[in-house]
């Protein structure tokens, strides 16, 4: 069965009676007119559909916790939607913890992750009742034990480990291979456990955490990841008489950015994970653990699009034709960072036949500010609205004010209704934190 991460467009996307692209029952051209561009648009139906597909895919296994990977895109509205769908949250900063709390998340279902957590963030996680902390290194073990002791609490933890598994993604989004900034090498696990047993009495080790990468199209590596973690749990049980009860497998399932992309379905990875548990738990003499799954991109990526207004164009003699839009690398840095490839469609004339090959350029003062290289589109005119698909993940969350350009607004659409979930910045917002020293006023 296909799942929504395998779709290029939000599940509600269609061409309406005005011959415009419509998402969530809302005409995207009208959204651009009402809210301005660039504009992030999120389809609530797609978010909920994919969240439920995850739960359905793993329903055959009795002990599963779903944690949304907040780094992909997090607002209070997203927290509210996914909380309603029964999700907890994988958080990597104090800001994400605060957003989860103020958005109404059940903090006991949440996990705090990251490779260089500050003492203030650890104290915040303890105070707000974050259910699990994934410990990444030896310094953090010491800091967290001290913070827990000061708070008079015992904190449940996972050890994040590097399982030595590489997936075929961009090197910057591989996290499970041995040469990684994340987690304990498996050769360091014994030292960490002995510190917990002998010194860190305020920490309760419940399991292991690994994350093998992002935008993954392979399924066998999920089977291998489970096998590595269960084998390690069996070794720990035999050596230390510790019965670990949890494994966190991260997320990383890929989505369809172009027609050439063929990501696996959620059901396919669920089958690999569950079969590996059943195959390997008995083999390594451990109980079948509770598993944590951390989808981020595969929930929010397909759910979001970005609308841009076409501006100037330039035909290079005997070269490319560049068409500029009113956004670019500050609202979507992924093409510049990862050479990410996107699909765009003309929102106000989607039925027009593609007639020219153009390169979509951003408005920022960098030669590398290119959103799409050499894509086939109808002839573009000033004022046209371009719809970029699959921008829900790592667009707004990685955005900046480069060139002092304002961050865009974000809207949530559902059943013909649109609601602001992030206000468009103003110049007052932009300069609110600026300070002119008094000595410069003399």
Domain boundaries, the chain: 4-42+301-431, 43-299
| pLDDT at res. 174 | 41
| pLDDT at res. 166 | 66
Regarding the domain delimited by 4-42+301-431, which CATH topology (the fold level of the hierarchy) does it fall under?
Lyase, Ornithine Decarboxylase; Chain A, domain 1 (2.40.37)
Which listed residue (167, 262, 365, 387) is catalytic? Answer: 365
Q: Which residues of the chain have pLDDT under 50?
A: 169-177
User: pTM for the whole thing?
Assistant: 0.95
Q: Is the CATH code 3.30.420.40 the one for domain 43-299?
A: no
Q: Checking phi first, is residue 374 left (phi over 0); if not, alpha (psi -120 to 50) or beta?
A: left
**Long-range contacts, 123-128 (Cβ 8 Å, 24+):** 123/147, 123/150, 123/151, 124/94, 124/97, 124/98, 125/97, 126/151, 126/153, 126/155, 127/151, 128/97, 128/101
Q: Is 365 a catalytic residue?
A: yes
Compute the chain's Rg from CA coordinates. 23
Between the CA of residue 307 and those of 41, 191, 298, 391, what are the distances in Å? 8, 51, 20, 10
| pLDDT at res. 168 | 53
| pLDDT at res. 112 | 98
Q: Rounded to whole angstroms, how far apart are CA atoms 306 and 208? A: 37
| pLDDT at res. 1 | 73
**Cα dihedral: 265, 89, 306, 37 (round 10):** 170
| pLDDT at res. 441 | 86
């Amino acid at each position: 069965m296909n799942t929504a991460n395998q779709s290029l467009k939000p599940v509600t996307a269609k061409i309406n009676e005005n011959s415009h692209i419509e998402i969530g029952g809302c005409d995207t051209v009208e959204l651009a007119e009402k809210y301005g561009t660039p504009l992030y648009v999120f389809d609530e139906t797609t978010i909920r559909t994919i969240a439920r597909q995850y739960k359905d895919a793993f329903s055959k296994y009795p002990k599963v916790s779903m944690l949304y990977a907040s780094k992909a895109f997090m607002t209070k509205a997203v927290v509210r939607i996914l909380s309603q769908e029964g999700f907890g949250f994988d958080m990597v900063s104090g800001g994400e913890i605060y957003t989860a709390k103020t958005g109404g998340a059940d903090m006991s279902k949440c996990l705090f992750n990251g490779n260089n957590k500050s003492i203030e963030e650890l104290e915040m996680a303890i105070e707000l009742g974050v259910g699990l902390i994934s410990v990444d290194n030896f310094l953090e073990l010491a800091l967290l034990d001290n913070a827990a002791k000061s708070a008079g609490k015992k904190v449940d933890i996972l050890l994040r480990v590097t399982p030595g598994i590489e997936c075929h993604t961009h090197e910057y989004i591989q996290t499970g291979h041995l040469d990684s900034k994340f987690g304990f090498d498996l050769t360091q696990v014994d030292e960490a456990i002995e510190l917990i047993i002998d010194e860190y009495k305020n920490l309760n080790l419940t399991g292991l955490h690994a994350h093998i990468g992002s935008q993954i199209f392979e399924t066998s590596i999920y089977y291998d990841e489970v096998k590595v973690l269960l084998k390690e749990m069996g070794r720990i049980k035999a050596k230390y008489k510790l019965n670990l009860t949890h494994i966190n497998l991260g997320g990383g399932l890929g989505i369809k950015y172009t027609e050439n992309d063929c990501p696996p379905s959620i059901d396919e990875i669920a089958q690999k994970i569950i079969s590996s548990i059943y195959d390997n738990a008995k083999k390594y003499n451990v109980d079948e653990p509770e598993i944590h799954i951390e989808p981020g991109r595969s929930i929010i990526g397909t759910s979001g699009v970005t609308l841009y207004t076409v501006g100037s164009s330039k035909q290079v003699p005997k070269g490319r034709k560049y068409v500029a839009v009113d956004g670019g690398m500050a609202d979507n840095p992924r093409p510049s960072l990862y050479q990410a490839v996107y699909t765009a469609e003309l929102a106000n004339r989607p039925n027009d036949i593609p007639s020219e090959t153009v390169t979509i350029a951003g408005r920022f003062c960098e030669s590398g500010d290119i959103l799409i290289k050499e894509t086939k589109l109808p002839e573009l005119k000033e004022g046209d609205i371009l719809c970029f698909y699959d921008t829900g993940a790592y667009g707004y969350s990685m955005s900046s004010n480069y060139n002092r350009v304002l961050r865009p607004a974000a809207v949530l659409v559902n059943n013909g209704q649109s609601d602001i979930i992030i206000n468009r910045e103003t110049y007052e917002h932009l300069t609110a934190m600026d300070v002119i020293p008094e000595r410069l006023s003399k």
